[in-house]
């Protein structure tokens, strides 16, 4: 990733714009990547600790259930249980623990760490549906005037004022050490803002030669929305939340690629924007 894009090509005068809000803290966000990973490891170790404390009771309950004639048998009419990534994660930890115990291995701190590493290496995240060309309003044969109008309309959407006092990146850094419920209002406002931006972009007629750039842009925002959703569920689904937040970096890369390609597109068409025009943000 070309970090100079974040350091020089967007001016300080655009601090209120979406792109500035996202990239101004990018290096700080990247510097805390190890902290995010460390937080995931702490969650794993806590889950293993909880499993160690409760596994004997769970085994006892299971033994009693299998021997008791009064235990109700599950039927096909019972609703399917929807498991969160954290549920699946916990089940895998339990399975690994039981396997180790049955093989006669003492569950030491080192063994717990090995279990944590093995479970962490798997992907428990829910796959987010992204947009494609078929979701865009593609227009061919647009005049230069229409292309410029498109750029200004897109720029107006991207420079929508912030919806919360703190950015999602700042909140991501804080919820690893405190309750995410404290930021529920801010996260909802940020999500609503992104949703409106996505809806606005999807409503635009996009030049056929710029459609792939717009797809990347919309998908970047969609990934941001998913990460914000994850942050809001940190207490209930920490593994799912961390997975979504970790994917935020992919959205940042999509955003950069989209802006780069839009710059090339407008330059190729000979379309320029003055500093007073909304489309100017796409050319910085």
Confidence (pLDDT) at 109: 66
Instruction: Tell me the per-residue pLDDT of 6-53, one tens digit each, with 9 for 90 and over.
Output: 233 322 222 223 333 333 333 344 445 555 555 555 666 666 666 566
Residues 113/100, Cβ–Cβ less than 8 Å: no
Residues 186/166, Cβ–Cβ less than 8 Å: yes
Do 149 and 251 belong together in one domain? Answer: yes
Residue 235 to residue 214: CA distance in whole angstroms: 34
Q: Is residue 46 part of a domain?
A: yes
Do 113 and 24 belong together in one domain? Answer: no
Cα torsion 31, 37, 42, 46 to 10°: value is 150
The band of 76, judged by pLDDT with boundaries at 50, 70 and 90, is: very low
Instruction: Tell me the per-residue pLDDT of 91-118, one tens digit each, with 9 for 90 and over.
Output: 777 677 777 777 877 766 677 667 666 6
Please tell me what DSSP assigns to residue 205. Answer: E
Range of the domain at 50: 40-74+83-120
Q: Is residue 125 part of a domain?
A: no
Do 251 and 139 belong together in one domain? Answer: yes
Q: How far apart are the first and last CA of the chain?
A: 17
Q: What are phi and psi of 137, to 5 degrees?
A: -90, 85
Nearest to 93 by CA among 245, 193, 253, 239: 239
Confidence (pLDDT) at 132: 96
Confidence (pLDDT) at 270: 95
Beta strand spans in 152-279 (E):
205-207
Q: Which residues does residue 205 pair with via DSSP β-bridges, in sequence order?
A: 137
Confidence (pLDDT) at 100: 76
Instruction: Tell me the per-residue pLDDT of 124-150, one tens digit each, with 9 for 90 and over.
Output: 666 678 999 999 999 999 999 999 999
Q: Final residue of a domain: which of 91, 120, 149? A: 120
Instruction: Tell me the per-residue pLDDT of 163-176, one tens digit each, with 9 for 90 and over.
Output: 888 888 888 878 76
Q: Which residues does residue 138 pair with via DSSP β-bridges, in sequence order?
A: 206
Q: Which residues of 232-243 are buried (b: 16+ CB within 10 A; e: fewer)?
A: bbbeebbbbbbb
**Stretch 187-197: mean pLDDT:** 95
Do 173 and 244 belong together in one domain? Answer: yes
Residue 89 to residue 72: CA distance in whole angstroms: 27
Do 96 and 166 belong together in one domain? Answer: no
Residues 100/107, Cβ–Cβ less than 8 Å: yes
Question: How many residues would you count in the chain?
Answer: 284
Domain count, the chain: 2
Q: Vertex 259, ends 3 and 202: CA angle to 5°?
A: 140
Higher per-residue pLDDT: 20 or 71: 71
Do 107 and 68 belong together in one domain? Answer: yes
Strands 205-207 and 137-139: parallel
Flag whether pLDDT at 85 surpasses 60. Answer: yes
Do 10 and 134 belong together in one domain? Answer: yes
Confidence (pLDDT) at 152: 96
The band of 119, judged by pLDDT with boundaries at 50, 70 and 90, is: low
Do 112 and 183 belong together in one domain? Answer: no
Above pLDDT 70, what percent of the chain?
62
**Stretch 199-228: mean pLDDT:** 96
Do 136 and 217 belong together in one domain? Answer: yes
Do 135 and 105 belong together in one domain? Answer: no
Do 55 and 115 belong together in one domain? Answer: yes
| CB neighbours of residue 65 within 10 Å | 11
Q: Is residue 251 part of a domain?
A: yes
Do 18 and 91 belong together in one domain? Answer: no
Q: Final residue of a domain: which of 66, 97, 120? A: 120
The pTM of this model reads: 0.69
Higher per-residue pLDDT: 244 or 97: 244
Confidence (pLDDT) at 114: 72
């Amino acid at each position: 990733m070309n970090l100079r894009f974040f350091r020089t090509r967007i001016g300080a005068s655009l601090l209120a714009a979406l792109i500035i809000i996202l990239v101004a803290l990018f290096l700080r966000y990247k510097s805390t990547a190890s902290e995010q990973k460390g937080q995931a490891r702490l969650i794993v170790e806590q889950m293993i600790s909880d499993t160690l404390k409760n596994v004997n009771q769970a085994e006892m309950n299971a033994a009693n259930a299998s021997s008791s004639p009064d235990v109700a048998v599950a039927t096909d009419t019972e609703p399917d249980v929807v498991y969160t990534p954290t549920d699946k994660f916990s089940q895998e930890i339990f399975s690994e623990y039981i396997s180790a115990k049955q093989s006669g291995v003492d569950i030491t701190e080192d063994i717990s760490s090995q279990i944590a590493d093995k479970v962490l290496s798997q992907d428990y995240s829910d796959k987010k549906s992204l947009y494609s060309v078929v979701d865009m309003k593609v227009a061919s044969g647009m005049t230069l005037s229409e292309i410029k109008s498109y750029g200004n309309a897109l720029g107006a959407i991207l420079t929508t004022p912030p919806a919360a006092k703190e950015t999602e990146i700042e909140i991501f850094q804080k919820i690893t050490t405190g309750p995410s419920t404290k930021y529920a209002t801010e996260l909802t406002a940020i999500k609503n803002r992104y949703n409106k931006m996505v809806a606005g972009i999807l409503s635009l007629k996009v030049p056929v030669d710029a459609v792939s750039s717009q797809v990347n842009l919309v998908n970047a925002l969609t990934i941001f929305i998913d990460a914000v959703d994850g942050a809001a569920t940190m207490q209930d689904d920490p593994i799912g939340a961390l997975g979504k937040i970790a994917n935020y970096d992919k959205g940042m890369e999509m955003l950069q690629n989209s802006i780069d390609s839009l710059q090339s597109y407008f330059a190729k068409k000979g379309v320029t924007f003055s500093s007073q025009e909304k489309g100017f943000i796409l050319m910085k």
